[in-house]
Amino acid sequence: MAVNLRPPQLLHPVPGVRLGVAQAAIKKPGRDDLLLIELAAGSRVAGVFTRNAFAAAPVLLCRERLQTGSGVRALLVNAGNANAATGAGGLDDARATCAAVAQDRQCLPEQVLPFSTGVIGQRLPVQRMLAAVPRAGAALAEDGWLRAAHAIMTTDTVPKGASRRVETSQGPVTVTGIAKGVGMICPDMATLLAFVGTDARLTQPAVRECLRGAVADSFNSVTVDGDTSTNDSCVLFATARQGARDIGVTHPDFGIVAAAVREVCVELAQAVVRDGEGATRFVTIEVGGARSVEEARRAAYSIAHSPLVKTALFAGDANWGRIAMAIGKAGIEGLDPAGVDLRLDDVMLLAGGQPHPEYREELGAAVVAKPEFTIGVGLGRGQARARLWTCDLSYDYVKINAEYRT
């Protein structure tokens, strides 16, 4: 059960974007598992992708096609099969599905970006996907965002979407996004699959810069289990349907649009953690007093990745000694325990590396019994800070992943 997460209530259509879904029986019959996203001509697109050495075939094609600047007109997304570790055949399969979209949408195959998620090491059921592409094309609609969020789910229990509307000097701008992902989450660029669209007239450099900043503060600040997927992809597309003048990175409206994109990405990234496989706790980790942001993030991830910390959180056990252990093993050179402070929400556990004189076990227990709380760390070394979001590790995580292919 996801932690305080409900399906999105309102996802604003983005002018210049249409979405359609279809059933292709990729892993199991009887569910929508193929998504087609059509972009208006002239859309500007940027993406960030996994750094896993076993990057999936669709990731390789996306990287290649975004570098050519041929003008993206469509995205094809399938759930149930990752098309990863499939060699040259996997690339052929991805190209074949893109060619089918190009024929259906009357564009070039190089103008189609493929995305896949699901089981690694299996070839795509290409013929079933080719047959489903025209059905997805016939279903294209501007209001198809929620159906799209459902179609890309795998072990997700809740569809993930977020939407904002903001005022700019050229009128109102819409930003809407969807994402999927609950496990194999420790991105080094984005998280599994996320698609964010806006009608703002962003230049191509502005789209790239907007995505870079948003990902750093959102998808690159979450972890469920410390594993980085082979298929992680996050794409931002700007259809340039609003306004008459381009918005570059120095334009006054850029900050407004970038802030809205960041808010959407943060909401999506948090939704991924809230729906972490078997999650019962949503935990914010804040580390301050570091000499660098990198040092603060190292301490935060050491806490978030510790199985001992995560299982204690699942039990509602304020076993703060495990948190101290995780800070100590983070590899921070010259860390002096006498400078470290530790808290759960506003309850101080350690002050100057020693148990706080007013701490009582029942105070810590009351915090970790809640579905959401913050672990706060002060390293006492500098002014840099970092924040990330994680979840606990429950019995259900083991069950879900043990039975993933059955």
Residue numbers annotated as active site: 191
Q: Residue 323's closest CA among 304, 309, 337, 305?
A: 309
